[in-house]
Every structure is written in structure tokens, then in C-alpha cells.
Amino acid sequence: MRVREAQPGDFEAICELFQEVDELHAELLPGFFRKPRRGTRTREALRRIVDSNDEAILVVLEPIDAVAGLVHVQIYDTPAVQLMVPKRRAHIDNLVVLEALRRRGLGGRLLEAASRWAKSKGAEEVLLTVWEGNRAAERFYERMGFRRVNTVMARDV
């Protein structure tokens, strides 16, 4: 199993993985997320991420060098004008492993690789969002050393 930065040739596999996570989000919170349509992700969007200095999609290859999972990570700087301590942070936008290959350490490898990538960009901290109802993800991230730093709540008006 190895992790590398995504390449344009990974587009179809990446779209399948994003479809899986987008469907989960729409199932968990249908009032927040739309049911995804195939073809929502574009090659141009992937190219923008691949070409960016502050954003990356890392893929894990398994078992015969096929894309089995991905992590999308972005760098951002917290401005000094906010009340938060100014620092460079990384945000995990999405992490997904093919359902048939879960619980084999691929997600942990992706998180480790994303953390190394973020550190190489000067990040001091990695943050992520877990959507309500995704208990398996919460347990996974807690095992990986993440702790709750915020809770966002909503209501209709």
C-alpha cells in the first residue's frame, strides 16, 4: 500500500470515491446536502487542486496499484485580526476509502500522509469536520488522535 498525490489519470477513481462520500452526506443530512448526480465533479476542478500549492488530493493505492481511497486537504492561515491564535492550519475536506477495503489501515495511512504534506507546507494543526450522524467517522478520527474543538448547530427559521 502506498500513498501519492493524485494525478489527472486518477479522475474516474476519484469521482467514484467522491460519489460514495457525497451519497453518505446526502443520506445523513438530506436537508443540507443534495443527492449527488454522476458527473458533478469535473476534470477542471481536479486539475485546479492538483496544480495548487495550498491544496492536494492524496490517494492510497491497494491492492494492485488501484486507487482505493483519497484525502482532500487544504492549507489556510488564520488571520491575526481574529480572536483565534494566528497559525497555519490544514483542513481535511474529505477522506474516503472504498467500502470493501475499510478497516485495513488505509484511512490511517491517508491521514498520516495528509499530516506530513500539511507540515511540509508549514501547517501546525490539522482540522476536519464530521457531519452529524457519522458515528463511524467520529470513532475513527478519535482513534487517530483528533479531539472535538467546536460544535456547529443549526435550526430552520
How many other CB atoms are there within 10 angstroms of residue 90's CB atom? Answer: 25
- What's the average model confidence in pLDDT over 21-36? 90
* pLDDT score, position 83: 74
For residue range 38-63, what is the model confidence (pLDDT) as tens digits? 777 778 888 899 889 999 999 999 87
* 3 state DSSP class of 104: coil
pTM: 0.90
For residue range 104-140, what is the model confidence (pLDDT) as tens digits? 999 999 999 999 999 999 999 999 999 999 999 999 9
CA distance 61 to 84: 37
CA distance 129 to 141: 10
CA distance 74 to 54: 6
Residues 6+ apart with CB under 8 A from 83: none
- What's the average model confidence in pLDDT over 3-31? 92
- Which domains does the chain carry? 2-143 (3.40.630.30)
Burial class (CB in 10 A: 0-12, 13-18, 19+), 145: exposed
- Find where cell 491564535 sits: 85
* pLDDT score, position 127: 96
